[in-house]
């Protein structure tokens, strides 16, 4: 009963992602924020599908957050993120999750990247993960934050942890890929961790006003 009563006094925020791995990371990093009740997108089955057809991570995140906030009449945080590789002129970028095709698996996406980088020396395999998060209410866009994590692309996958491009993204400071790093470390240094740290700083003043 106490838990239900406490939830009534919390601000509901929908995490607008179908990616369960992203959702797990977000909840793990934001678990200690007081005054907020995070909800999964599965809790709102009537929501429209928002096509991520814009040209930047920010535009996609803002589009998703604003449309879904109006549709479900609550606050929405939307994440658009991906991998930018310098030798590929920033690709896969906004197409990261479907780089090898509309229904491509993580493995197929990684294989395409490694194929395109074949023969490229280490010093030219620089890359970064980028995460943009937008927070909107049914009436306004509150803010947008962006996090980054710099690294290199390996010549082959290493590690079984994480998801997406994690096994081929090498972090020099730790001498391991995201696929090898424990989640407790990844969730302190990743692009998403960077963005969510800013998210915490920006959202707390809004929550205090409620």
- 186 marked as part of a ligand binding site: yes
- 187 marked as part of a ligand binding site: no
The residue annotated as part of the active site, out of 80, 86, 106, 194, is 80
- 22 marked as part of a ligand binding site: yes
- 90 marked as part of a ligand binding site: no
SS3 for the chain, per residue?
CHHHHHHHCCEEEEECCCCHHHHHHHHHHHCCCCCEEEEEHHHCCCCCCCCCCCCCHHHHHHHHHHHHHHHHCCEEEEEEEEEEEHHHCCCEHHHHHHCCCCCCCHHHHHHHHHHHCCCCCHHHCEEEEEEEEEEECCCCEEEEEEEEEEEEECCCCCCCCCCCCHHHEEECCCCEECCCCCHHHHHHHCHHHHHHHHHHHHHHHHHHHC
- 52 marked as part of a ligand binding site: no
- 163 marked as part of a ligand binding site: yes
- 18 marked as part of a ligand binding site: yes
CB 159 within 8 A of CB 180: yes
- 180 marked as part of a ligand binding site: no
- 81 marked as part of a ligand binding site: yes
CB 190 within 8 A of CB 149: yes
Q: Looking at the DSSP assignment, which residues form a beta bridge with residue 146?
A: 132
Q: Is 80 a catalytic residue?
A: yes
- 51 marked as part of a ligand binding site: yes
Q: Which residues carry a binding-site annotation for substrate?
A: 17-22, 81, 163-166, 186, 191-192
Q: Which residues carry a binding-site annotation?
A: 17-22, 51, 80-81, 163-166, 186, 191-192
Q: Which residues carry a binding-site annotation for Mg(2+)?
A: 51, 80
Q: Mind telling me the catalytic residues? A: 80
């Amino acid at each position: 009963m106490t838990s239900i009563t406490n939830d009534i006094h919390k601000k509901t925020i929908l995490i607008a992602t179908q990616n369960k791995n992203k959702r797990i990371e977000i909840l793990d990093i934001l678990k200690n924020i007081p005054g907020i009740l995070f909800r999964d997108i599965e809790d709102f089955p009537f929501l429209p599908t928002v096509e991520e057809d814009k040209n930047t991570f920010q535009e996609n995140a803002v589009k998703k957050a604003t449309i879904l906030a109006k549709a479900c009449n609550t606050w929405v945080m939307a994440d658009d993120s991906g991998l930018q590789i310098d030798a590929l002129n920033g690709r896969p970028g906004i197409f990261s999750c479907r780089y090898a095709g509309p229904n491509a698996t993580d493995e197929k996406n990684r294989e395409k990247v490694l194929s395109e980088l074949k023969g490229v020396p280490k010093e030219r395999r620089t890359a970064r993960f980028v995460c943009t998060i937008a927070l909107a209410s049914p009436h306004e866009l509150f803010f947008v934050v962006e996090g980054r994590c710099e690294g290199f692309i390996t010549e082959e996958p290493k590690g079984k942890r994480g998801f997406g491009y994690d096994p081929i993204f090498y972090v020099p400071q730790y001498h391991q890929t995201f696929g090898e790093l424990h989640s407790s470390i990844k969730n302190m240094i990743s692009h998403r961790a960077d963005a969510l740290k800013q998210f915490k700083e920006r959202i707390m003043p809004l929550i205090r006003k409620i």
